Amino acid sequence: VMLLAGGKVRLPIPRYFFQALQATVVKLSVSPQPRVQGEPVCVPQGSQLALKIEGVLRHGQRGSLFRSVAAVCISISTSPPSKINSEYKNGDFAAVGGTELQQTVVPHRDFFACEFLLSLGSAGGSGGLNPACAAPGSSSGNSSGANQFQVTASANIVDKDGNVWKCGPRSTLQVRVHEEPGKRKMP
């Protein structure tokens, strides 16, 4: 048995002995979902897609140890899949002709929901995102030229100090815009 005299011998104590961690997990549910897994959701040309985002916040053992969730920022972005692979990965989203929209919702008992209305490939050649609930500072762009789009929904946590924590999940949905057979123009 060795005696500790005057603090000359230091005992190794693991980091987690002094450090307390907080875990907050966001679960997202995006509807509509395709009938067959991996297939795109079909939307007639000229109509709009109602996109509903629902989610739940799950906390660890200590719910609001360091930060408490004041709001959840939902981001919806859309662009043609052919342009995503080449330019979107470089971080220049505006260059690909995609659109992005954000909406901030306040969770009630750790549940939240919001709705968006997407106009993809409209007959006039211009498409965009229109929120079902108006969000200040939202922007819509032009996304024409392709009949298949990739819609990405992501969630970020906003704490009581206004800091955005980019820890939320991403959900991707393929949408195909098709022309109705009865509305085709005859040459």
Split at pLDDT 50, 70, 90, the class of 69 is confident
As a whole number of angstroms, the distance between CA 161 and CA 171 comes to 27
pLDDT of residue 139: 36
Q: Average pLDDT, stretch 54-60?
A: 87
Size of the chain in residues? 187
Instruction: Write the CATH number for 169.
Output: 2.60.40.2550
Strand partners, 164: 158
In a domain, 186, yes or no: no
In a domain, 174, yes or no: yes
**Entry pTM:** 0.68
In a domain, 185, yes or no: no
Per cent of the chain over pLDDT 90 is 26
Domain with 90 in it: 23-179
Domain count, the chain: 1
Q: How many CB atoms lie within 10 A of CB 166?
A: 9
Q: Average pLDDT, stretch 166-172?
A: 87
Question: In the predicted model, is pLDDT for residue 102 greater than 90?
Answer: yes
Name the average pLDDT for the chain.
74
